[in-house]
Structure formats: structure tokens, C-alpha cells
Structure 1
Amino acid sequence: MQITKHLLLLAFIILSGKVNLFSQTAIDAVLQNTQVEELQRISQEFQVRDSIELETALQLAKLNNWPIEIEDENTYMQLVGLNDDGSPRYNETFNRVAANSISTNKLHSGGGKGLNLEGQNMTVAEWDGGGVRATHREFGNRVTRRDNASGNNAHATHVGGTLIASGVTNNAKGIAPKANLWAYDWNNDGSEMADAASRGIMVSNHSYGTSTGWTKTGNTWYWWGNISVSQTEDYKFGFYDSRTRDWDRIARLAPYYLIVKAAGNDRNDKRTGSHRVWNGSSWITSSAQRDDDGDYDCVSTYATAKNILTVGAVNDLANGYVTASGVRMSNFSSWGPTDDGRIKPDIVGNGVGVYSCNSTGDAAYYNSNGTSMSSPSVAGSCLLLQQHYNNVNSKYMKAATLKGLVIHSADEAGTAAGPDYIFGWGLMNSAKAVDVISDSKIQLEELTLNSGSKYEKVVFSNGTNPIRVTICWTDIEGVANSPSVDPTNIKLVNDLDVRLVNINNNTIYYPYRMNPLVPTAAATKGDNFRDNVEQIYYPNIPAGNYYLRVTNKGNLSGGKQDFSLIGEGFIDGPRADFVASSLTGCIGDTVFFTDKSSNGVSAWQWLFGAATPSNSSLQNPYAVYTNPGVYTVTLRGFDGVLFDTKTVQITIGDIPDASVIESDTAYCVSERGTIVLTPVEKNGKWNGGTWMPYIDSCKFRPSGLQPGDYTAIHTLTNAQGCEDEKTITVKIRANPEVSLSLEKPRVCSDDEAFDIRGGDPAGGVYSIDGDTSSRFNPKAFATGIRRISYVYVDSNNCEGTAQDFIRLEECTNNSIGELNASKKVQVFPNPFTSVIEIRNISKSAALSVSDVMGRKVDFKASIQPSGRQIELLVKSEGVYFLSVIDEDGTAETIRIVKQ
């Protein structure tokens, strides 16, 4: 994303042919907050759509003999596409035959305010009915024709001069005489606007609109309504169509781009008698009676967009603004409201008798009237306000801020205070707007409101100063209406509300609102649910503390809404301020608060929530939090008369549990598997060590450790930074030493059952050939070797095992007692490793060795002075049986163990 935007910025600089169009660092910030890729995408989308639409319109024009261009000395119209209803769409310039009227001259060098705002290193864009004469002496080399506009157009050149003429002829000096101009014709305007916005353009002018209602060209009258929708009223007045939606969408995607649009010149246009009208397939002549255009509801199509600045035209004020009554409405400027009742125009400027460049020659000029002339004077002034804002703040303001600023600082016009559908919010006053930017005591902020939350600030009134608060936001584009007359469905998507609330008595001060059902009525105060501009104005309110509050209705689309706020007239009262030792903590933490209040604060009222204590009047208190949660801490600072409030949130986290499930478990050294300890809560850390080198888990093999106690430390930290630590003792225990020496290793098959004995330590469990039993019944088994196992489990749950064998035989000559009583033969060592010595037998005694399965085992025997000696010729460890038959016939079988 970042790389793409910087590449687009580089392309913007290269394509412009200039390297200092804007302050580089500030324009970088603009592009960082602009949806560059989406603008480029819809630019291509609009270009394809508009090209197809224009080609279709041209084919229909050829087939039905529609005019492609219509022009006389006052008006130029051109077929540019099709309306939403399929009728031919013509754009027309808003002529009818500037700077002093709206006080922009005061911003220029020598203007009396000590400023030098003339558009240096700034660029404004213009879309119009043709090419600007770039070679005119007023332009130098500051005009770049960005598209393939053919020829030079008088209207476009006049508008361009109003924007940037250098003043070679003083009366023709433009609003921003040192600015650069990107010039386009109006074909593919949506696509080109999206592209220009993606390259950092912040202000553009559009002194044209859709042909609507009545228009006279030469001796021919046209009525541009759709007779299938209404025989008498052109539905496009006040109408929110797909092009209007497109402009709002472009503005949303480019939050620093302000589109300045002429309101139109349709008011008072009327005709009785023969005229041309489109009947759905061709132009026909008709004498049907149609409505006059205006007075109200004659701002058409995309001039009704929410996120643009729509400009009406008033007569020239050669000496500037004096009183509201001195602002005289022109006899042509279009009036609102929109079909859903929004305020249009937004602002007015001079549109009568404007002297500017002509396209007929490089030194040609002429006078012209129309909103086409007022719009560029406002657009150029907006460019200078951006220039000044950047000079003061080292950054540019958002379009909503700029629009709000223009409205906030406008001079009152009309017969009643507040906005109306005639002058909008009043006559633009560039000098006052500059003062708002420069005055640090005036609140000028760009903020964000999360859905369902509120912006709230304590402000102070001295009871004398007029109070003015303006909020403005770039709204989500609305849904385009289907062709119909005056649809009233509200186009505002995210509805913000500004209120001023007296803290002492809860009196609420509301913003202005208009009633579209009675458009002539003065503005009242109340809930404005139509406009994305709201303004509170009161010439005086009682002295005291007030909440300045911004909230929203319902759910905000996208979950939040950026907005701009301008507040003026409040005094600098006490300022409550403090810092907390930490904004996050854990159960049991003590948070210390340090007062930083100013402006005469001499008493303090603290509220800590469910803490100990819960409140305090100390200047620098503390609070202990014993439960997890989010706590609101409020300081109200008093100066004896007024107070201010500051609120912060302290987040207290719970202590995590670093306990380990196996914290008191012993492990036997005989265990060969890997043991992994299980924490109660995951994502902790272990201390590691020579015996267990891991930190992300605790795992070990008991068989690889010596018996003993080992220490493991488990530490767990949660998202709030709260920590718990548990020390675990891992116990490795040796398996117990267990032996089994059976009292009766040899029995006869017909002997009686007996208890097995000989296991040590006592308390273990015997088994016979794997089946648990402590009693041996010879009659229950076949003759042969029976394996006796003895298992003993100690207090650590470690197990020791020993084995012995019982030889079960068919006895004929000897009883069981005799077999087990003959114990004269001695063997040692037993267990043995290789050689075993046999004593108390004769040298001629017969010897044999067998394994537990009765198989004979080879051995090597020898005679030693102490007795006989044998060496087994097998390597396998285990239990074997030595059989001895002495020369006297005595026989004995002895259990021997090879290690």
C-alpha cells in the first residue's frame, strides 16, 4: 500500500511536468489517507462506462438527428451521454452575460492582512466545456491541459482566468494568481476526477451541469424534462442520481479532495409557447404548459451531492461585505432545497459582472455573469485557505474541514439568521476563514467518532461572546434514486449530532435546521437529520460551563465517522489536567495521580470508580484497585466560579494463573517417555536450565535424570501486563530395590496349595505367569517351570519388580518336604556373571543346566580344590536351573541367576 502510493505520487509529479505543485511532506500525508488504488480502479470503471455511454448517445443522435452541440453568445451545451432514464444528457455552462466580494483580495500580497497567499506551489483543477487557452498572457506556463480537449473554449478560459490569472490586466486578476491549473474538458469528468484525486489534487472547480428545465439557445427553447415521468416538472431538479452518487463516492475515497460546483442558473427560466422536448426517442415540437424553473428546488443532479461545496451567485460587492442586507441575490442563481430537504447551495460568491480571460486571443478579456463565475472565485479561495493552513500547521486540512471552515466563517446573508435555501450558509469570507486558522483560541479539530460513543468537551461561556460551533463530515454516498419527481428519502447515511449542554441546568442548545415543506421559512433550532453540516449559533448564552457534545444516531456505517469541528466564542477557563502513574495495572496495584491543571484551578474533585478510596479532594491522590475492569477516573478542577473536567480510563487486569497441574507429582527414574508439564493457562514461559533447557514448555525424560529434586519456574503474563509466577519442584525418584527368594522353588504336582512368600520389601503383589495371585496350587498347573513375579510400589508410586520360579514336577520317590529339605549343595556367587562354584558334592556328581523353558544349556565344568566349577556357554542373562545327582543318588535342583 505504502509503496503503491509513493509510486503514484511520483507519477503525479512526473505527469504534471512540475516538481513543486504542493508541499511535498504535506501531500505525502494526503496520499497516505487517500484510497489511491480504489480511485484508480473506479477511474478506469467510469472511463469505460462513460465512453460506451457517449458512443451510444452519439449513435442515437445520428439516428434521431439530435444536436451534438448547442451554442449561442450566452450558453454552450454539448451531448455527453445519457441520463439515468435513457434521455440524452447535455452539459451546459452556467453563464449569464469577484475577489473583493468574498474578501479574498485581503489574502494577497498588500491585501492588508500581512499575508502573501497567492497560490504559490499550489495546483487547482478545472473541468469545463472545452479547452483553456493555455497561451493567454495571464497564465504564463502555469496551465496544463490534462486531456485531449480540442480547441479553446471561451467559458473554460474565463473560469481558468478567474482561478489563476496573474493580473497583467489588474481587473482580471484571478483568485490564486500564482497557482498552477490542471485543465480538463467535461467529457469523462468522473473518471478524470478520480484519477486527479488519486494524484493529490485537493480542490477542483466545475462551472457546468446537466441541462435541466428551460434553456434558450438562439431563438429555440428546450425543455429538458422527461414527459414520461412528469409533463410539467423536470424531475432532475433537487434529484440525487447515479452521477451525484459517483461524486460523493470520489469525495469519500479522497478525504482531502473538495469538489466545488456551481449551483446553476436555472431560477426564473420560463417559457409559454412552442418549445422542443424529448419524447423518449426524438426531439419534437410542443406547446404544452410546463412549470417555470424555481424559485425553489432548481439545483440539479450532481450539484446536490452531499460531500461537495455547491456555490450560488450574488451581485458584486465592490467594497466587500458590510451587512446581510447588502448581499443581493442574482436573478438567475439556483435555489434549493434538494429533494430530501438538504441545504443547497452551501455558500454564495460573486457571479455578476466578472471580468476575466477570453479564448479569442492571448490578450482578450470579457465580462460574464453566472454561477460559473462565482464557483471559481470560491474554489480559488479554498485553495488559498489550504495554502495558509499548511503554512500554519505544516499539513493540509481535510475537505470536510475546509468545507466546514468556509461555512463557519461565512458572512450572514438573507433576511433571517442562519442558513436558508437561497444563500446557503451565507457569503464566503476568506479573510475570516484565515483568521480562524490563525487564531489558536478557536477550536479547529479533525476528529473521529466511533459508533455509539460520544465526543465531549467542557467549554466555557462568559455570557457575552457569540457562540458558534460547526461540524462537517464526508458522508458515505447515498443510494441513487430512480427517476421520479421530488423523492424525499433521506440521503444522509451517517447522522451525527452536535449539541451544547449547560452543565448546571441541562439546557440543550441545538443546531440550525430547515423545513423543506416551507422553504421560505427561516431556519429554526432542533435536530438536523438531513445535512452533513451542522452549526450551533447563539449571539449569547448564560455564562458557565457547557458540554460540547457530538454523538450519532443508529449505527455508523463502517463503525466510525471522521468529522471536523470548529468552535468559536468560548473563553479560556480553568483547565483540568492530570497524569496517571500508569493507565494499565493489575489487581492490587496503586495508581498515583499527579495534577497538571492550569488557569487558576484551586480545588479538585476526583472520582476513581470502585477503588479505594473511591473519591478524593487532594491535589495529588492515589487509588488502589482490587478488582479487574476498566475504571473511569474523572478530575473536576475548580477556579472558584467555573470548572473543567478531564476523564481518563484506567484498565486493571486480572492476575493470571501460572499454576501447573502436575505441580506435586513424583516421577520414577525408570520412566523412559518424555514428560510435558501442563500449565493451567497457556502462553507462559519457563526458566530453562541444565536439566530442562526449554523456555516455551517444560519437558524432560525421567530416565535421563538422577534421582533428586529439580526446580522449574513458570511465569505467565497476560495482555494487561499482569504477571504470576509459580515455582514447581520436579521430583525424580529411584525405583525401589525389590527381591524375591521363594521358600519352595520346587514342588510336586500333587502337593497341596500354599501361600507364596519371599518378596522383600513386604506389601507387594505376587503373580503366577502374569496372573495376580499370592497362593500357588500345584494341582492347577501342568508340570514345568512357573514364573513368579513380585511387584512392589513405594510411596512415590515408583515400582520395583523381582522374579523367581517354581519347578513343578511329577514326584515318585521323594516327598515335597524331602525335595526342598535337601540343601547340602551350595552355589556361589548367586547371582553370578560367568563362573559359579558348586560345593558339598562329590567329584563324580552328575551336573546339568536348563533354562526356564526346560531346554538344556551347555557349560564347561572343572574340578577345583574347593569343589566343582562350571562356566555357562551362553551370554544371555536370566534364570537357569542347576540339577545335581550325587554318587549316593541324592538329586537336587538349584535356581541360579546369571547377570
Structure 2
Amino acid sequence: MKRSTRFCLLTLTIFGLCNFLNSQNLTKNLSEANNDLLIKFEKQESERKSRVEVFLKNNPSLVHSKRNNKNEWIQLYDIIDGKPLYRSTDNRNAGRGTKTNHLQAGGSLGLNLDGSGMTIGVWDRGIAQATHPEFTDNGGSASRIIMVDATDADGNSDPASHGTHVTGTIAAKGVDPSAIGMAPNVTVKSYNWSNDEAEMVAAAADATNPIFISNHSYGIPVDPNDGTGPIASWIMGAYTQDARDIDNIIRSNPKYLVVASAGNAGNTSYPNGMFANYDKLTTDKNAKNSLVVANANPSVVEQPIFSGNYEITSMFINNSSSQGPTDDLRVKPDIAADGTNLYSTVPGSGYGTSTGTSMAAPNTAGTLVLLQQYYNQLNGEYMNASTLKGLVCHTSLDDITTIGPDPIFGWGFLDAKASAETIAEDINSDSIISELTLDNGQTYTYTFSAQAGDKLRATICWTDMPGDVSDGTLNDPTPRLVNDLDLRITKDGTTYMPWRLDYSPSTGFSNSKGDNMVDNIEIIDIDTPETGNYTLTVTHKETLEGNEGLPFDPQSQDFSLIITGNNLVLSSKEFDLSNVKIWPNPSNNILNVDYKTISNQDVSLTLSDLQGRIVYAKTIKGESPEIKELINVSDYSKGTYILSIKEGTNVVNHKIIVD
């Protein structure tokens, strides 16, 4: 046996022991569902390592980890159909392209978001340089990088270029202004990619410091470039065990969103795909509940000059970015972001430029941290993963060549400014972002009015239950959707349908509007709406599935609803503006609030400024049919505030002017 092979087998054994010891800590304070997942993933990890160990014994000329002929690090990950499967590693200008800079300090929205108080997980082949000056805290004395793993996946303790660059794209503070990350004050938990699924469960379920977002800029390449050729063709687009595992993790932790790179196989060919130059997403990239990111290359120009306002003048996908869709025609990748020539941190406290979906994913993940931070400021809680995913798909910018979804850009290019504005509009009752539950056999109905002008768009998104794993059939079109919700909008006898992908073996992929039976996100666009009243309904097919004791109750499905349009007037059957009287408004002294309750639940009153800072908060016991409250605003700065009245799941928001 070669010395390198003996070393790899010893390393695998040591890692197995370390993971076992670590798992004893991972099971603390977990729910029963997460504990069951953790045990399952530990078992899968042990079996996977055993397959790799046996393969290396039988193939002594191969090694566990190396650089391929493209100078990319690849690591032997698993054995499928007798062939090796490898894992490979897949900002200032980037922030301008996705308009994340509008949310940051000095941005046009005045929000000054930086990720403070939040923690993101970063899994990568190698670890980041925690001592890089870009990762120090505001005091400049401590690092914001928590090194959960002290070595890379091969046991080396030296910081990795890829992991450091990815982490900087998310979290660099801007010592070099050109390298500033999307969330320059977020805390990062840094991991190598060994035993990632079990670690994700533990990090998302952490009782004291949970992560709501994680970044994964690695995956199974279509061709590992190790001389053995492409992997089995059926794997591309297939719903594998890895995809099911990701869906299971997010379903058991509904506020946790996995952000993953789509892969860099855009120029790679293999036999028997669905259509030439498509169908290149592998394993976990075909999950339903995660957010998979393609790599775009936008041209961003300051318009007008010296204004500080940057606009996209052209939009192209980077030709190396892996194309979808999934075998069952789900829209994947989900969105695209700028991952081309990103300038970020590298080991040795330096900087470098990299391109790939590995860069597009952290650009997105860091931006999503800011959106969660902003939503929490305004609402006192974080969005569910389905809400955050639905929001960024809902507000994404259509690419230049295709209207509607496609298997290259997904739903479009990330637009952080539009996402943040929709969050603010929800507070002002100019749009809607709601987290709802559909019971088995129920129809959810919502009525609203809109005026002609801007496009009317409605989105539902839900964290679906894990589907059935593929049996290895090539290009199997069987839908993996378990709970199939249906979104419709009607007006004056006309029914508007959601987008869906279409496929022809002779002409390839296109899109249309109709009954979508595969995606767990549905979007309806009415490009030229007429002024009038609209009715939105959400129904479901067959019987809803769920498990008792888990986040989804038996025979019900949580879902998120987002609506935007021109001069929306949103209504509720149970809770409307007639319940509330507020005077005088504007006010410079005492603000009177008269509220008629609709149940015997507690009522909370909060007054926040437009940056989400709460200046007044009070909870009133639900013991009276009417609540009269006096709020002294004489000491508040002049400006606009939002008064939020919440009773149970019902919320109404009023704009308050202090003069």
C-alpha cells in the first residue's frame, strides 16, 4: 500500500473518531426531529466513509484528495455505481450589481445594515484565515470568525484560499474598501465540509446562537477531471439522497435557509442529458427547499456620473455556470448573482480575484443576512426560510433575454434593494409579506384592489416535505413535490395562472403559464393590470402530508405569501383599519390610539422609526373589547414612524408623523 493511501486511511479513521466525539455535543438541546436527523446523518456519514475506504483499498493508485488537471482541489466523496464521486470547490462591485450597497452604511435607503447580531455558517473545503484584518470586530481586537473546525477536510491547519475568499465575500469589513463584504459585521461560524449535514442540524438548532443562513460553495462536479470522465448521467438533475437530506434539514428548522452554488459545469459535456448544454445540477443542488445560485456577469455603470447610483446596463450569465433544470422540471438554479471577478480576502492577510458560482453564492448569502436583519428590526422576528426565499425570487430582476423563469438564471438576478423596499412596504401596508398555514381541504382567500400601472405580482413559497429519492432512472420526470399548493388570481371572470417550465426533446426548454405541479414556489405576473378588485386563492391537490410533533402539523402546510403592485389596498376579513382610530396625526405631543379587539388575546403596540429602531413598546392584556392608549411623542425626533398593532397573528400598521 502506498504511503499516501495509508495516510488518507489514517486520516479518515481519525476524522471518524473526532466526528463521533463531536456528535456527543451536537445532540444537546435538540428537538426530537433534529436528534433523529443527526443520528441518521452520522450513520450515513459513517457508511459513506466506509465506501470510500474500501474503494481506496481496492484502488491503491488513487488518493483521497488532490488537484485535478484544472488545478482545482477535489476530494473523494462517495462511490456510486462503482465510480468515484468527488467534491470540488465551486466586494464592492458585486454589491453594486445586486444593489446590496443600498442596504449598507451610506446606502440610498438609509438603513445602515451590516449583519450585527447575526451569525452565518460557512462550510467549505478549507478554513478561513480568522486573523485576517478584514475579519476583526468593530473594536479591532477580536475576530468575528468562530473556528468550529480547526483544519480543512484533509486535516491541514493552514487557511485555504477558497474558504477565505468566500468568507470575505460575506463578511469582510472593508479595510480595503474594494473588498468589503455584503454583511461587514456578521459573525461567521467556519467549518470544513466533512460531516456537514450533521453540523448543519446542530448549528441551525443551537439554542443560544442559531444560524438562519449558511453558505455552501462546493458540490459534486459533472466531470471531476481526474481522467475517469463524467459521473453517471442519471445523477444530473436527479433528486438524490443528498437533496432529500437538505430538504429534511430545512423542513425541521423552518427559519434556516441553505444557500448553495449551482456549480461550474457550464462548459462541460456528458452523454444522455435532457438537452444539450442543460441539465448539469448534481446531488444536493436538486433540493426543493434550498436556494441555489447561478453566476452572472452584469455590467454596472454609475448613472448619472458621480451620483453614487449604479445601474445594470447589460446582463449575461457566466458561461461556466451550471445550468438546470431538475429532471422533474423544477426551476433550478433559483436565482443568479454576480460571481464574476470578485475581489476579496485570501490567506496571508491579502486580497485576490476569483470567479465562479462559489463567489455568487456568498454574495447572495451575505445579502440575505442583511434582509433578515432588516425584517427583524421592523417585525421583532426573523423570516421563515420559505419567506426569505420567496422574497428574493419575487423581487429578482428578469434577465435580458427571457421573461419569466428559465433553467439558467432561475427566477432572475438578485435585487436586494427591491427586496428591502418590499419589506418596508409591508410595514406600510403597501405590499404584503405573510406567513400562513393551509389546512387539509382548506381554501385560503385574500381580496385586494390594485391600480393600473406597475406589474402586479403574487408569490407563494413553502418548505415542502422530503420527496422520494431517485432510483437511478435516467432523466426521470416524476415530480418530487409532496404537498402541491396552487396559487390563482381572478378578476372579472379571468383567472391568472403561475409560471412553469416546459420541455420538448427537440427544442429544449421554455416557459408558460399554467398549473404548476412540480415547484414549491409559484409566481403569478399580471404585466398590465387593470384597476379594480382581485381575489387570490391558495388551494392544494390530494391530501396534505405532515408529521405530528414536527414544524408542520398533520395534514397542513405552512406557506409564505408575497404581493406587490401599484397602489395596493389590502384587506382582511377579520382585521381591518376600521378597528383602529389614531389622532391627531401628525402629532407633536400626545398620540391617541383607540383599538377594538377581535379576540381575548394580548395586544402589543410598537412604534418604530424607518430604520426599525423601536422607540415605544407596550403589551396590553386581552381583557377588554376596546383599548385606549395615549403615547407621548413630544420627545421623539421629527419624522415618519410606524405604529404596529398586533393581536395573535393579526397585524395592522399605521404611518405616524411626528412634527
- Determine if the TM-score, normalized by the shorter chain, exceeds 0.5: yes
Three-state SS of the structure 2 residue aligned to 1:163 is: helix
Q: CA deviation at 1:412?
A: 1.1
Asked whether the 8 Å contact 1:100–1:317 carries over to 2, the reply is no
Cα deviation digits, residues 218-265 of structure 1 (max 9, x gap): xx5442323xxxxxxx22111111111011000100000000010011
Cα deviation digits, residues 827-856 of structure 1 (max 9, x gap): xxxxxxxxxxxxxxxxxxxxxxxxxxxxxx
Tell me if 1:168 matches 2:175.
yes
Three-state SS of the structure 2 residue aligned to 1:318 is: strand
Q: Report 1:161-560 matches (<5 A).
A: 161-199=168-206, 200-212=210-222, 214-216=223-225, 221-226=227-232, 234-270=233-269, 295-319=277-301, 326-359=314-347, 361=348, 363-439=349-425, 440=428, 441-502=430-491, 505-517=492-504, 520-558=508-546, 559-560=555-556
- Over 3 Å counting, the alpha-carbon distance change for 1:545 and 1:578 in structure 2 is same
| Residue of structure 2 equivalent to 1:685 | none
Three-state SS of the structure 2 residue aligned to 1:497 is: strand
* Rg comparison, structure with higher value: 1
Name the CA distance, whole Å, in 1 between partners of 2:352 and 2:571.
57
Name the CA distance, whole Å, in 2 between partners of 1:244 and 1:578.
40
Q: How many residues end up aligned between the 2 structures? A: 519
Name the CA distance, whole Å, in 2 between partners of 1:188 and 1:574.
46
Asked whether the 8 Å contact 1:357–1:365 carries over to 2, the reply is yes
Cα deviation digits, residues 343-371 of structure 1 (max 9, x gap): 01100001110111112x1x222111100
- Over 3 Å counting, the alpha-carbon distance change for 1:291 and 1:409 in structure 2 is closer
Q: CA deviation at 1:89?
A: 2.6
Asked whether the 8 Å contact 2:262–2:294 carries over to 1, the reply is yes
Tell me if 1:122 matches 2:113.
no
Q: CA deviation at 1:404?
A: 0.4
Name the CA distance, whole Å, in 2 between partners of 1:128 and 1:578.
48
- Over 3 Å counting, the alpha-carbon distance change for 1:351 and 1:596 in structure 2 is closer
- Over 3 Å counting, the alpha-carbon distance change for 1:112 and 1:544 in structure 2 is closer
Three-state SS of the structure 2 residue aligned to 1:105 is: helix
Q: CA deviation at 1:108?
A: 0.8
Cα deviation digits, residues 77-128 of structure 1 (max 9, x gap): 1113334x4533311111xxx2111011111101222111111111110111
Q: CA deviation at 1:290?
A: 8.5
Asked whether the 8 Å contact 2:265–2:321 carries over to 1, the reply is yes
- Over 3 Å counting, the alpha-carbon distance change for 1:314 and 1:572 in structure 2 is closer
Question: Higher relative contact order at CA 8 Å, sep ≥6: structure 1 or structure 2?
Answer: 2
Name the CA distance, whole Å, in 2 between partners of 1:38 and 1:48.
16
Letter aligned with residue 55 of structure 1: S
Letter aligned with residue 89 of structure 2: T
Asked whether the 8 Å contact 1:268–1:293 carries over to 2, the reply is no
Q: CA deviation at 1:58?
A: 2.4
Cα deviation digits, residues 775-795 of structure 1 (max 9, x gap): xxxxxxxxxxxxxxxxxxxxx
Q: Which runs of 5 or more structure 2 residues have no equivalent in the other structure?
A: 1-21, 137-142, 303-308, 547-554, 582-659
Cα deviation digits, residues 701-741 of structure 1 (max 9, x gap): xxxxxxxxxxxxxxxxxxxxxxxxxxxxxxxxxxxxxxxxx
Q: CA deviation at 1:409?
A: 0.9
When normalised by structure 2's length, the TM-score is 0.74
Asked whether the 8 Å contact 2:450–2:565 carries over to 1, the reply is yes
Name the CA distance, whole Å, in 1 between partners of 2:533 and 2:298.
42
Name the CA distance, whole Å, in 2 between partners of 1:291 and 1:120.
45
- Over 3 Å counting, the alpha-carbon distance change for 1:576 and 1:258 in structure 2 is closer
Name the CA distance, whole Å, in 2 between partners of 1:294 and 1:571.
44
Name the CA distance, whole Å, in 2 between partners of 1:138 and 1:380.
15
Cα deviation digits, residues 136-158 of structure 1 (max 9, x gap): 22112111121343322211111
Q: Which runs of 5 or more structure 1 residues have no equivalent in the other structure?
A: 1-11, 17-33, 227-233, 272-288, 580-593, 600-899
CA RMSD of aligned residues (A): 2.7
- Over 3 Å counting, the alpha-carbon distance change for 1:290 and 1:410 in structure 2 is closer
Asked whether the 8 Å contact 1:101–1:319 carries over to 2, the reply is no
Name the CA distance, whole Å, in 2 between partners of 1:367 and 1:262.
17
Name the CA distance, whole Å, in 2 between partners of 1:225 and 1:172.
36
| Residue of structure 1 equivalent to 2:55 | 60
When normalised by structure 1's length, the TM-score is 0.55
Letter aligned with residue 494 of structure 2: T
